[in-house]
Amino acid sequence: MGAGHGGVLGAAYLAGDSPVHRMEPHLKLVAVLGFALVVVATPVDAAWAWAAYGGYLALVLGAAAVAGVGPGRLGRGLAIEVPFVLFALLLPFVAQGPRVEVAGIAVSESGLVAAGGLLAKATLSVLAAVVLAATTEPRALLQGLERLRLPSLLVQILMFMIRYADVVGGELKRMRVARESRGFEGRNLSALRVLGPAAGSLFVRSYERGERVHLAMLSRGYTGRMPGGPAAAVPVQAWLTALVLPLGAAAVLASGLMFG
């Protein structure tokens, strides 16, 4: 699946030829997962925690620079973090413990520390995921998950989700255009009488399309697994390159635990 065949889900991919782009997808998945685990394992109440977060940020920004992922792309990717931000903003007000004043408002000291740690960890993990999405096509990500022994059925479900998200989205758009061409304006609760049946119709159409696709696959010999050739061996050097990010983060964490 090329950059132009991923639709909405593939729009996150930035075509390029950087070392990060050329890296095998399962290696990048391992690197990002390892990095996130190290970040999450950092104790939020340690005096050196923010110094460690700074080290993690330098590592992930270095990876983004090598991959050619600019600040704008990284910033747009952080939009997914909004729920974490909202939750973190509530913590200082609902957590128990000693209170401190911030801008004239009394908040929980432990909640404030927890909120800062949550935001830092979420931001760092999302940034690493943004670099992964920007340098790996959706189909390659699925191949990487398959190589990491993710259940084949789950990989196929994700594959069809990527393939048909735009098909269902196009159907939804055509239904919206048809409603508006008949004078529909969804500005009050009475619009639910129209939108409810429309949602049901979209579900039925999607279900029927899935049935037709499944029957077509069975008629072509589908047995529950997608055909694929043998996976090529990955050299040790490629593993070492991929593990620079999580091992660098682990070194930062170990330094904090030993000397912090």
Alpha carbon distance 3, 13 (integer Å): 6
In the predicted model, is pLDDT for residue 118 greater than 70? yes
Q: Which of 45-59, 68-82, 176-190 has the lowest mean pLDDT?
A: 176-190
At 111 the pLDDT is: 84
Alpha carbon distance 41, 48 (integer Å): 13
Adjacent-strand bridge partners of 108: 99
Task: Place 3 in a pLDDT band, splitting at 50, 70 and 90.
Answer: very low
- Coil/strand/helix, residue 227: coil
Task: Place 9 in a pLDDT band, splitting at 50, 70 and 90.
Answer: low
Across 53-91, b (16+ Cβ under 10 Å) vs e yields: bebbeebbeebbeebbbeeebbeebeeebeebeeebeeb
At 5 the pLDDT is: 46
At 89 the pLDDT is: 83
At 21 the pLDDT is: 93
Of 124 and 93, the one with more pLDDT: 124
In the predicted model, is pLDDT for residue 7 greater than 70? no
Of 60 and 159, the one with more pLDDT: 60
Number of H-type helices and E-type strands within the chain: 12, 2
Average pLDDT, the chain: 86
Among 25, 24, 31, 3, smallest CA distance to 248 is for 31
Torsion of CA 110, 111, 113, 119, to 10 degrees: 160
Among 254, 255, 252, 245, smallest CA distance to 19 is for 245
Please compute the mean of the pLDDT values over residues 107-119 and round it to a whole number.
86
| Residue 248 · residue 128 · CB < 8 Å | no
Please compute the mean of the pLDDT values over residues 57-69 and round it to a whole number.
95
CA–CA distances in Å: residue 114 to residues 43, 107, 153, 214, 257: 10, 12, 38, 48, 19
In the predicted model, is pLDDT for residue 230 greater than 80? no
What percentage of the chain has pLDDT greater than the value 90?
Answer: 38
| Residue 135 · residue 20 · CB < 8 Å | yes
Q: Where are the domains of the chain?
A: 14-136+234-259, 173-218
Alpha carbon distance 145, 231 (integer Å): 13
Q: Which two tokens stand for residue 95?
A: 């957590």
- Give ∠ CA 76-70-18 in degrees, rounded to 5: 125
Largest CA distance in the chain: 70
pTM for the full model?
0.80
At 159 the pLDDT is: 85
Please compute the mean of the pLDDT values over residues 98-121 and round it to a whole number.
84
Which tens digit of pLDDT belongs to each residue from 178-229? 888 888 877 777 778 888 888 898 899 888 888 998 899 899 888 877 777 6
- H-run or E-run covering 102: strand 99-102
